[in-house]
Structure 1
Amino acid sequence: MRAWQVDRRKRTRHLIELGGAVIKAGIVDLTGEDRATIFGSLLWMPDKLQSDRGEQARALWAARGKHAFKADPATSHGPAAFRR
């Protein structure tokens, strides 16, 4: 297999895992699959992280995410599956 094919498969897997995180968080259901709302909320995150309370927000979000992974036995890969 060529290097570009391997890279493309890695990128595809990464994007699928990130999409899975959006679904797993319930965002898709809560927004009625409104992509503008989902994208808007994702755009809000960098603003929050770059604010004077960004480190506090990151720590809170990380703690909630780790807790959710531990609480869901169906998550076979844990947080590492979404950290790339």
Structure 2
Amino acid sequence: MKRRERTRHLIELGGLVMKAELVTLTDDDRAVMLGLLGEAAARLRTDEREQLLLLWRRRGQRMFASDALAGKPE
């Protein structure tokens, strides 16, 4: 059961990468995508953490909402 839950979680995370259009915007360059995620992780290790989480959460919520309004699956 744990393996199935982990697999589902990984698939959902991949869906977020697709939803953010990172695959298209980086021409599917995995090194660039990892670099972007590493940059975000580094910024979250700073004193700005709470502000960034709030900013990025709101931005993500708007992206989910705009997809829902456009009839796109989440």
TM-score, normalized by length of structure 1?
A: 0.79
**Corresponding residue number in structure 2 for 1:29:** 24
Q: Whose RCO is larger (CA < 8 A, sep 6+)? A: 1
Q: Is the 8 A contact 1:49 1:57 kept in 2?
A: yes
Matched, 1:66 2:66: no
Q: CA RMSD in A?
A: 1.0
TM-score, normalized by length of structure 2?
A: 0.88
Q: How does 1:36-51 map to 2 (within 5 A)?
A: 36-51=31-46
* Unmatched runs of 5 consecutive residues or more in structure 2: none
Matched, 1:55 2:60: no
Bigger Rg, structure 1 or 2: 1
* Unmatched runs of 5 consecutive residues or more in structure 1: 1-5, 77-84
| Overall identity of the aligned pairs, in % | 46
